[in-house]
Structure 1
Amino acid sequence: MNQKKCKICSKLLVGRNDKMFCSVKCKNYYHVNLRKVTDKVVKDLDNILHRNRSILLEILGKRKGHTTIDRMTLVKKRFTFKYHTHLHINSKGKTYYYLYDLAWMEFSNDEILIIRNKE
């Protein structure tokens, strides 16, 4: 019979079959460190998403609908194209990349359409 070992200290586990840690101390150590790693990655990604949204919002201004802008303007403002919250492909096969309530679509190689999602 192959006995399981604690994920942290490798002591043999006694008790339930699905037990993963030998003590509360090992369990807490595992989850605290897992949370630290996750928090850093999420914080960095969230900062990029918020900066991208702020750039789109600044360009869109108080307009209610949409506007087009050339790609280089976004590049100069350090917009990161590969990060978005979700996407939508319309009936014509065009992809809208969303940042929360704002979206952009590549119109051509040089132009980007920015829209505000209607609430």
Structure 2
Amino acid sequence: MRRKQKYCLACEQELQGRSDKKFCDPYCKSAWHYRKMQEDNYSFYARVDKQLKTNRRLLKTYNKAGKATVRANTLIQQGFNPDFFTHYWKNKNADVYLFVYEFGFLTRIENGRKKYVLVTWQAYMERSKNP
């Protein structure tokens, strides 16, 4: 019976030895499993990180003065997703501002249109206690 020629899953060198061998040495085995784990976990992390970066960039672009109001559709059409944020702050009126790092937004309905009130994180927000 002739043995099929097999190659290492990590470095693709020809394998010597047992017929069920998958890796040429422990280093290749470890490297292959590490890469596989990174690929499996990276996709979720990469998607979240990319969306947070997009959201932050858009909030920063439309909020040059520290406070601004913009139509929700304007941001959403450019890739903004309000479901991705890093933290929140609640003011005395119980309005909840969602923040992407130092740039925040509050959802408002004005004249039947959904808008975002854009703000920048301020020192007094740190001192206040959220319920």
TM over 0.5: yes
Task: Give unmatched runs, 5+ long, in structure 1.
Answer: 1-23
* 2-structure distance, mates of 1:35, 1:91: 44
Alpha-carbon distance in 2 for matches of 1:38, 1:52: 22
What is the letter of the counterpart of residue 117 of structure 1? W
1:97 aligns with 2:98: yes
* Equivalent-residue separation in structure 1 for 2:86 and 2:40 (angstroms): 21
Question: What's the CA shift for 1:29?
Answer: 6.3
| AA of the residue aligned to 2:121 | N
- Measure how far apart 1:40 and its partner are: 2.0
Q: Does 1:50 align with 2:53?
A: yes
Q: Which residue identity lines up with residue 110 of structure 1 in the other structure?
A: K
Cα separation, 2, equivalents of 1:30 and 1:76:
39
Which structure 2 segments of 5+ residues have no match?
A: 1-25, 124-131
Query: What is the CA distance between 1:58 and its match in structure 2?
Result: 0.9
Q: Does 1:115 align with 2:119?
A: yes
Q: CA RMSD in A?
A: 2.2
| CA–CA separation in structure 1 for the residues paired with 2:97 and 2:91 | 8
Query: Following TM superposition, by how much is the alpha carbon of 1:118 offset from its aligned partner in structure 2, in angstroms?
Result: 2.7
The residue that corresponds to 1:71 in the other structure is: 72
Partner SS, residue 110 of structure 1: strand
Higher radius of gyration, 1 or 2: 2
Moved over 4 A (4+): 24-32
TM-score calculated relative to the size of structure 1: 0.65
CA distance in structure 2 between the aligned counterparts of 1:86 and 1:33, rounded to whole angstroms: 31
1:37 positional shift: 1.7
Q: Secondary structure at the match of 2:51?
A: helix
> Aligned letter for 1:46?
D
Letter in 1 for 2:39: K
Shift of 1:30: 5.7
Deviations 1:17-43 (A, max 9, x none): xxxxxxx88887665533332222111
